Amino acid sequence: MKTKTCLSVKTIALIVLLPVSLHAQTTLQELLAPIWELTKADATDGQRREYAGYITLNTATGEYSLADVVHGDWVANDEPAELWLLARPPDIPENPSPIDTVIYIVAWFHTHTPTQYITVPYRPVGPSPEDFTAAIHPLVNLPGFVLDYVAKPAPNHPPNSIPAGHPKDGETALYPITPPNRRAMP
pLDDT band, residue 183 (cuts 50/70/90): low
pLDDT mean over 91-99: 88
Q: What range does the domain containing 143 cover?
A: 22-177
- The answer to the question of residue 4 being in a domain is no
- The answer to whether residue 184 is domain-embedded is no
Average pLDDT of the chain is 84
Instruction: Tell me, yes or no, whether 148 lies in a domain.
Output: yes
Closest CA to 83 of 106, 116, 109, 107: 109
186 assigned to some structural domain: no
pLDDT of residue 16: 46
Q: How many domains does the chain have?
A: 1
Rounded Cα gap, residues 123 and 146, in angstroms: 14
Judge if the upstream peptide bond of residue 93 is cis by omega within 30 degrees of 0: yes
The residue that leads in pLDDT, 95 or 2, is 95
Cβ burial, residue 85 (10 Å; 0-12/13-18/19+) = buried
Q: For residue 62, is it within any domain?
A: yes
Whether residue 8 lies inside any domain: the answer is no
Quickly state the pLDDT bin for 134 (edges 50, 70, 90).
confident
64: in domain:
yes
Contact 71, 86 (CB under 8 A): no
